[in-house]
Amino acid sequence: MSQLKIRVLVTSSSSDYLTRFQGKVPLNYEVFLCDGWSQVEEAIRSYDPHLIVEIQAGATPLTPAALRHPHLPFIKLTPESLNLASHALGELLDQPSARLETVRQNLPFVGKSPAIQRLMKLIDKVAPTDAAVLLTGENGTGKELAARALHERSLNRQGSLVAVNCSAISSGLAESELFGTIKGAFTDATDHGGYIAAASGGTLFLDEVADFPLEQQAKMLRLLETRDFRRVGCSEAENANFRLISASNVDLAERVREGRFRRDFFHRLHVVEIRLPALRDRIEDLPMLTAHFLHVLKAKTQVSISALAMEKLAAYSWPGNVRELRNVLERAIILAENVELQPEDFEF
C-alpha cells in the first residue's frame, strides 16, 4: 500500500507568501502552489486536492471563488497568520469531508502535538530504509500502529506485514512456528512455511520481543545475518528477504544485563529506536483523540461530551494510554443515560 498524503492546494497572488507557507507544512501534507485564482479551476481538476488554502495578499478577498467548490474544505489566511500554517491545516483536516475520509483512515496517529509531529517525522525518515527498527514505549501507546505505518511507507509495502506475538510462542514450538516444518519432521508435522517464509518480501513484526525464546535467538540472529533458514526436518536452506520491526514495553538493555536476552541479538534489533509517547506526554491531543473515538464508536447513536467531562479526562494520568482511553469511552457510551457524556459517566 502506498503512502497517502493530504494534498493541499495553496493559492495567493504573492509567490513570497506561497513559499513561506510551504516551509511550515508538516511532512504528511503534499502542497501544490497556485499563483492566483485564475488557475485554480484547472489545478483542482489536475491535482485533485483534499483542501484549499487561500493567502490573502491584498485588500480584496478572493474567498467567493471557493464557493464553487463546496466539497473541498477551505480556509483563508492572512500574511500575519502564516506562522499558524500547521495549526490551520489541522483545523481543516478536522472538518467533515467525504474527500478526506480515506486519508483520515490511513493516518496512523490522531493528534497534532509536538510529540506526534516528531514521531511521524521520524517514521517518514526511517520507513524507506532497510534498517531494523525497535519500537519502545508503554502498553497502549500504539506500537502496532507505528509498525503498520513503517510497513506502508517502506520499499516492501507490496508484501505482507506478518505480526508475531512473541509472548504467545511456546519454547517447544517456537522453531516450527517461526521457520516452518516439512511433512514427517515429527509426529503430526505437515508442510508449513512458518512466519519467516510468510514475511519474505514484506515485513516481519516481532511484538513483545522481550519474550522471544532465548534458545531461538541464536538461530534468529543467524537468519538476520545470512537471510537463510531451514525448516524443521529439512536440510535445504531457503532464503527470506524481509524488513524487521520489533516492539517492546520493557527495557531490553536491562534484560541483556540480567542474562535473559542475547546482547548480539539486541544490537541487531536496535539499529533505530522509535519511542512512542505516553498519552500523558501529549495530553493536548486528548480532545482530538476523544472526538475520533466518539466518531468511531457511535455505531447506534450520536454522542457528544460535555466540557466538564473533558476536564475530568484531561486531569487523569492514563496509565493505559490511548488503548485505555478508547475502552473508557466505549464503556461510557454503552452505559450513559444521555447522549452527552458527563463526568459521572467516567469511573476513575
Confidence of residue 103 (pLDDT cuts 50, 70, 90): low
> What confidence tens digit (pLDDT) does each residue in 306-328 have?
999 999 999 999 999 999 999 99
Residue 281 to residues 85, 138, 345, Cα–Cα distance (Å)? 23, 12, 24
Average pLDDT, stretch 107-136? 89
Contact in structure between 108 and 147 (CB atoms under 8 Å): no
What cell does 202 get?
Answer: 514484506
State which H helix or E strand residue 32 sits in: strand 29-34
pLDDT at residue 136, rounded to an integer: 98
Query: What pTM was estimated for this model as a whole?
Result: 0.70
Nearest Cα neighbor of 201 from 239, 149, 242 is 242
Average pLDDT, stretch 281-308? 82
Residue 145 pLDDT > 50: yes
pLDDT at residue 2, rounded to an integer: 40
H helices of the chain, where? 15-22, 40-47, 85-94, 101-106, 114-126, 143-152, 174-179, 194-199, 214-226, 252-257, 263-269, 286-297, 307-315, 321-335
User: What is the chain's Cα-based Rg?
Assistant: 24
Amino acid at the residue 44: I
Rounded Cα gap, residues 237 and 15, in angstroms = 60
Rounded Cα gap, residues 114 and 156, in angstroms = 29
pLDDT at residue 316, rounded to an integer: 97
pLDDT at residue 263, rounded to an integer: 96
Most confident of the ranges 17-26, 44-53, 139-148: 139-148
What cell does 75 get?
Answer: 480556509
DSSP state of 162: E
For the chain, domains (ranges, CATH) are 6-106 (3.40.50.2300), 114-275 (3.40.50.300), 279-345 (1.10.8.60)
Instruction: Return phi, psi of residue 200, to 5°.
Output: -60, 130
221 C-beta neighbours (distance < 10 Å), count: 17
